[in-house]
Amino acid sequence: MKVGPKGQVVIPKVFRKALGLHPGSKVIFTLREQGILLEKPTEDATTAFKEIAESGKSIKVKPHEYAEELEKRL
């Protein structure tokens, strides 16, 4: 990758797709001894529901399935 005149670099498409990044997505840069770490911030439920509400889309939430999915991840 090459750093542009404004200090910008392009995140390769495969990485954007894997992280679910799109124009307007927020990322976190962390300076490490070995380089820079780029992370997608975890969203809290309030932020997620606010974005859904503002998009005008409706979704169906099945709380028991969500709880089961969380347990699998722990």
Question: How far is residue 22's CA from residue 16's CA, in Å, rounded to a whole number?
Answer: 7
- Asked if pLDDT for residue 67 goes beyond 80, the answer is no
- DSSP sequence for 15-59: HHHHHT--TT---EEEEETTEEEEEPPPPPHHHHHHHHHHHT---
Stated length of the chain? 74
The residue ranking higher by pLDDT, 6 or 70, is 6
Predicted structure pTM score: 0.51
- Asked if pLDDT for residue 9 goes beyond 80, the answer is yes
The owner of tokens 């976190």 is 28
Q: What angle do CA 21, 24, 28 make, to 5 degrees?
A: 65
Q: Mind listing the pLDDT tens digit for each residue in 14-43? A: 999 998 898 988 899 999 999 999 998 877
